[in-house]
Amino acid sequence: MTSVPTASQTGEGGPDGSDFPDHIAIIMDGNGRWAKARGFPRAVGHERGVEALRRTVEAAQDIGLRNLTVYSFSTENWRRPVAEVNALFGLLKAYVKRDLNRLASEGVRIRILGTREGLPEDILELVDRAEARTAKNSAFNLCIAFNYGGREEIVRAAQKLASDVADGRIEASEITEDRFTAALDTDGIPDPDIMIRTSGEFRLSNFLNWQAAYAELVFMDVLWPDFGKSHLLEAIEIYRSRERRFGGLASGAA
DSSP sequence for 113-177: ES--TT--HHHHHHHHHHHHHHTT--SEEEEEEEEE-HHHHHHHHHHHHHHHHHTTSS-GGG--H
* Binding to ligand FPP in span 187-246, by CB under 6 A: 199, 224
- The piece of 13-21, 28-36, 164-172, 208-216 that touches ligand FPP (CB under 6 A) is 28-36
Distance CA 35, CA 210 (A): 32
Name residue 26's beta-bridge partners.
70, 196
User: Judged by CB, which is closer to ligand FPP: 20, or 207?
Assistant: 207
Q: How far is the CB of 252 from ligand FPP (least distance, A)?
A: 41
Nearer to ligand FPP (CB atom), residue 46 or residue 66: 46
Q: Is 29 a catalytic residue?
A: yes
For the chain, the residue count is: 254
Cβ pair 189, 198 in contact under 8 A:
no
- Could you say which of 14, 21, 32, 114 contacts ligand FPP (CB under 6 A)? 32
Q: In the stretch 130-149, what mask flags binding to ligand FPP with x, by CB under 6 A? A: --------------x-----
Active site residues: 29, 77
- Binding residues (CB under 6 A) for ligand FPP: these are 28-33, 46, 49-50, 53, 72, 77, 88, 91-92, 95, 144, 199, 224
